[in-house]
Structure 1
């Protein structure tokens, strides 16, 4: 049973996304995608969109945004897709360092040969 005054009621989540439940399979947002605001909030924006733009003044992951807003990740992704389509945020995956050190590659090769 929900406590009175809680904001995570299913009907509230439904209205936040205007009834949309997902973003499709081509969404650029996974849990570690870094989101950066490309503009400041403007008058008339949905309060969650404003909160996202304020949170993402510096690169912030999708999971961090969801936690700060206290929203499910699926709902956060829908809101982020709205902002991305409007050009208000950009998304990028964190860069992983390439393993190009020959010593590491040699150790991996030796380890595989020892199997």
Structure 2
């Protein structure tokens, strides 16, 4: 069963992306942070407007996907549209030589504090 407000019918997803199956950007991954550069305006789809509202603060692609109840592949296409239009910016993670995301000690400390609070 779908979460309230979501509808994963293939025809709806096809319509959301105007039939596209790939984002215009290949550099988006699950942990790329998206930041809105403007608020939602008339003429935007409800999904694009929702992404801009979510991304007032840096929000990862996977968090956007989960919050909207959309597949990550569809979310990447929608986020790419906002990036291409200059409505949002992306903050890409840095990777170490081993291919793992580089995390600064302050971020790790915040994660540890959050986990202890659970």
TM-score, normalising length: structure 1: 0.75
Contact preservation (8 Å) 1:28, 1:91: no
The gaps in structure 2 that reach 5 residues or longer are 95-101, 105-118
TM-score, normalising length: structure 2: 0.73
The gaps in structure 1 that reach 5 residues or longer are 99-115
The question of 1:69 aligning with 2:68 is answered yes
Deviation at 1:28, TM superposition (A): 2.4
Q: In 2 relative to 1, CA 15–57 (structure 1 residues): closer, same or farther, beyond 3 Å? A: same
Indicate the residue corresponding to 2:22 in structure 1.
22
Query: What value does the CA root-mean-square deviation take over the aligned residues?
Result: 2.3
SS where residue 74 of structure 1 aligns? helix
Report how many aligned residue pairs link the two structures: 96
Q: Which has the larger radius of gyration?
A: 1
